[in-house]
């Protein structure tokens, strides 16, 4: 089968032929990939930022946002059949540790992360387990929802954690109106009555956000922190969702967060450095976010099924992976890039 393989950091991944994975355990599931989302994390992986964290052995297959159709299921899997349309939770989890039993499977003590520390879904077929599979209505196209498996899940997870702080009359600032941010805005509108203020340096991207549910937009032109403070009577926002996490956004997000407010770090690549006295004297919080639970994904798919969350996507054939990466890196991509493999017979 065809797969996008990374052979060395700081080198372009390449499309090559590898062996189709096989069922190895009773709960394994093979999935014909119908859409594999392209994420900025994939760029960071190529740059080597994950090398000391994932400890993956190169070469391996990229791709951690995956949806498709069941190809084959292990003998213990009773609720899935070949041909079922599915989206895949990004983690393969054990089901037995305390985190899994508490429904917090994103912190499974024995998890694997396809596309990060094991072979992912930028391929014609991916092996996962039954615990990771969310069954979808047959009319849904995997390419239309694949990016919800990580980008959407991560945005939803952050918004869900922030909901108790976003009662009517509050302000939430969304930093970045791109592939993550556009989902975050829709989740905020679906789950809260907060005022949603969206920041982005691209006027074209900002112009799309009112249709997603933004209350106000601000061009990130160097004056945006002051403008947010003016909108909030000099106090800042109760919640800032930073979907960028680099190039100064991490400092701006902290500066826009009010006393006792929360700065959610979702995008990454930069560094957060804060004087400890500022943290304690204002009781502001910095909260990290890593994907979300299986239940979060199921809830997000319910929102998608009712049209409350829609993805803005651009599709590429699998062999155009480097064109897609170039478009993402250069800021030419609106929404999420989706790689479409040819389906095996």
Domain boundaries, the chain: 2-150+292-340, 154-288
- Between CA 339 and CA 237 the distance in angstroms is 37
Residue range 303-313: average pLDDT? 92
* Residue 331: per-residue pLDDT: 86
- Binned at pLDDT 50, 70 and 90, residue 303 comes out as very high
pTM above 0.85, yes or no: yes
Write the CB contacts of 123 (distance below 8 Å, at least 6 apart in sequence).
1, 2, 3, 4, 18, 33, 36, 61, 63, 318, 341
- Binned at pLDDT 50, 70 and 90, residue 210 comes out as very high
Which two three-digit tokens encode residue 78? Answer: 């009773």
How would CATH label the architecture of 154-288?
3-Layer(aba) Sandwich (3.40)
- Between CA 172 and CA 159 the distance in angstroms is 10
Query: Is the pLDDT assigned to residue 112 strictly greater than 90?
Result: yes
Query: Is the pLDDT assigned to residue 189 strictly greater than 90?
Result: yes
* Cα Rg of the chain (Å, integer): 20
* Residue 248: per-residue pLDDT: 94
Write the CB contacts of 153 (distance below 8 Å, at least 6 apart in sequence).
89, 90, 291, 292, 296, 297, 300
CATH classification of 2-150+292-340 is 3.90.180.10, yes or no?
yes
Q: pLDDT averaged over the chain?
A: 96
> Each residue of 140-171: pLDDT tens digit?
999 999 999 999 999 999 999 999 999 999 99
* Residue 103: per-residue pLDDT: 92
CB 295 within 8 A of CB 103: yes
* Residue 334: per-residue pLDDT: 82
Rounded percentage of the chain residues whose pLDDT exceeds 90: 96
- Between CA 228 and CA 244 the distance in angstroms is 17
């Amino acid at each position: 089968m065809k797969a996008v393989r990374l052979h060395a950091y700081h080198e372009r991944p390449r499309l090559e032929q590898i062996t189709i994975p096989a069922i190895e355990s009773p709960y394994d599931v093979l999935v014909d990939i119908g859409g594999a989302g392209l994420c900025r994390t994939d760029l960071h992986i190529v740059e080597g930022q994950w090398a000391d964290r994932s400890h993956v052995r190169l070469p391996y297959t990229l791709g951690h946002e995956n949806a498709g159709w069941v190809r084959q299921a292990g003998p213990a899997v009773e609720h899935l059949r070949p041909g079922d349309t599915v989206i895949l939770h990004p983690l393969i989890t054990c089901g037995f540790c305390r985190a899994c039993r508490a429904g917090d499977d994103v912190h499974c003590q024995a998890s694997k992360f396809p596309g990060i520390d094991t072979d992912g879904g930028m391929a014609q077929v991916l092996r996962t387990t039954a615990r990771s599979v969310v069954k979808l209505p047959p009319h849904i196209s995997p390419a239309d929802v694949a990016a919800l498996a990580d980008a959407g899940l991560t945005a939803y997870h952050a918004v869900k954690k922030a909901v108790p702080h976003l009662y009517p009359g509050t302000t939430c600032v969304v930093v970045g109106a791109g592939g993550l941010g556009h989902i975050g805005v829709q989740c905020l509108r679906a789950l809260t009555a907060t005022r949603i203020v969206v920041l982005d340096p691209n006027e074209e991207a900002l112009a799309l956000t009112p249709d997603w549910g933004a209350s106000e937009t601000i061009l990130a032109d160097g004056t945006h922190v002051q403008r947010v403070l003016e909108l909030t009577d000099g106090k800042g926002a109760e919640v800032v969702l930073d979907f960028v996490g680099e190039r100064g956004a991490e400092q701006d997000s902290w500066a826009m967060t009010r006393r006792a407010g929360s700065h959610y770090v979702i995008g990454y690549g930069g560094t957060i450095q804060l004087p400890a006295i500022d943290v304690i004297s204002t009781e502001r919080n910095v909260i990290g976010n890593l994907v979300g639970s299986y239940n979060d994904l199921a809830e997000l798919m319910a929102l998608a099924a009712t049209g409350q969350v829609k993805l803005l996507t651009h599709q590429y054939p699998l062999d155009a992976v480097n064109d897609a990466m170039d478009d993402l890196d250069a800021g030419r991509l609106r929404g999420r890039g989706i790689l479409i493999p040819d389906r095996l017979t």
